[in-house]
């Protein structure tokens, strides 16, 4: 019997979580949507399209999500639009039938129709994605906080660190001058992350976001606010949990005082050029923009 292709609705959340969590081998008790709530169909997300292929019995067999972003890219914070793909998985019983290929091709066609400059995704299957024109692009560095020149903490600063999401964190996201442009409607999914730990400090305000399930374990992938405050939070994290790493572009890591001379950069993402423009090497997408 024929399969059905349709957009997801809120009632598909559990089926999507089960499909993608098993595709990415999540251990029992954890789930993909807790790490990536941007794909949770119960949460309204602007510019998101989630498409599934369903069997005649209603079982979700395959899924591809897409989210269109405006990106401010260096140099000069040039604005482009790009589409990120995510939550890509096919049920093991339905693999090899062309379902993911069909959904990815449709998402790319839509992105080309919208005149996006790039399609971006994160995934280990480079060979699979290369057939659609995706290539590794960009650079990011992982720096052990223990190797950074961080000032010693005073007992007072250690006491002033608070944990939990703070309204001012999202204000900082809205004010970013590079990377994906967050919209007011992005607050709901940003707050819904279950495995990102947020730490803040006052006067002046600074924050860091650490970890995201198995995707970014022990990794600082977001920070903002007062520069000295960010470094204080790094020092606090480093004293509290050894092995925490900062993820960033070379410019950002150097600005924060990291020594990159012995660190090999990693690729930032798999990028497909829809137009005749190369991904600028210095362009950076922080952890929560890399959905």
Ligand X SMILES: CC(C)(COP(=O)(O)OP(=O)(O)OC[C@H]1O[C@@H](n2cnc3c(N)ncnc32)[C@H](O)[C@@H]1OP(=O)(O)O)[C@@H](O)C(=O)NCCC(=O)NCCS
Q: Applying CB under 6 A, which part among 38-46, 120-128, 144-152, 203-211 lies near ligand X?
A: 120-128
Instruction: Round to whole Å and give the CA distance between 117 and 104.
Output: 16
Question: In this complex, which beta carbon is closest to ligand X, that of residue 22 or of residue 160?
Answer: 22
100 counts as binding ligand X under rule CB under 6 A: yes
Task: Output 104 or 143, the one with its CB closest to ligand X.
Answer: 104
DSSP code of 24? T
What mask of x and - would describe binding to ligand X in positions 212 to 251, judged by CB under 6 A?
----------------------------------------
List CB contacts of 203: < 8 A, sequence separation 6 or more. Answer: none
DSSP-assigned letter for residue 229: H
Binding-site size for ligand X (CB under 6 A) equals 17
Is-contact 281 138, C-beta < 8 A? yes
List beta partners, residue 175.
none
List C-alpha distances in Å: 177 to 63, 174, 284, 285: 32, 9, 11, 12
Range 59-88, binding ligand X (CB under 6 A): 62, 88
Rounded Cα distance between 229 and 202, Å, is 8
Task: Give min distance, CB of 198 to ligand X, in A.
Answer: 26
Residue 281, interface with ligand X (CB under 6 A)? no
Does 290 bind ligand X (CB under 6 A)? Our answer is no
Using the rule CB under 6 A, which residue among 11, 27, 76, 96 binds ligand X? Answer: 96
Strand pairing report for 162-163 and 179-180? unpaired
Residue in 42, 68, 70, 97 binding ligand X, rule: CB under 6 A? 97
**Quick one: tokens of 26?**
């999540």
Residues that bind ligand X (CB under 6 A): 23-24, 62, 88-90, 95-101, 123, 125, 127-128
């Amino acid at each position: 019997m024929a399969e059905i292709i349709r957009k997801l609705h809120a009632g598909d959340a559990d089926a999507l979580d089960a499909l993608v969590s098993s595709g990415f081998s999540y251990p029992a008790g954890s789930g993909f949507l807790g790490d990536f709530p941007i794909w949770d169909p119960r949460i309204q997300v602007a510019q998101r399209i989630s498409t599934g292929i369903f069997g005649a019995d209603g079982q979700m067999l395959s899924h591809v999500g897409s989210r269109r972003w405006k990106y401010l890219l260096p140099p000069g914070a040039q604005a482009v639009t790009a589409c990120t793909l995510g939550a890509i998985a096919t049920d093991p019983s339905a693999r090899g039938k062309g379902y993911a290929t069909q959904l990815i091709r449709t998402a790319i066609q839509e992105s080309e129709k919208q005149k996006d400059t790039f399609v971006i995704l994160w995934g280990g299957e480079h060979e699979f994605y290369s057939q659609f024109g995706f290539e590794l692009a960009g650079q990011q560095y992982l720096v052990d906080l223990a190797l950074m020149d961080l000032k010693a903490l005073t007992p007072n600063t250690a006491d002033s660190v608070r944990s939990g999401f703070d309204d001012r964190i999202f204000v900082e996201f809205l004010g970013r001058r590079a990377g994906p442009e967050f919209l007011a409607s992005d607050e709901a999914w940003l707050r819904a992350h279950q495995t990102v730990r947020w730490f803040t400090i006052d006067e002046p305000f600074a924050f860091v976001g650490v970890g995201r399930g198995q995707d970014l374990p022990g990794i600082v992938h977001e920070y903002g606010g007062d520069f000295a405050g960010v470094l204080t939070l790094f020092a606090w994290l480093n004293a509290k949990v050894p092995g925490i790493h900062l993820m960033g572009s070379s410019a950002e890591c150097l600005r924060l005082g990291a020594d990159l001379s012995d660190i090999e950069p990693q690729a930032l993402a798999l990028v497909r050029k829809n137009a005749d423009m190369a991904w600028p090497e210095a362009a950076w997408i922080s952890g929560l923009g890399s959905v």
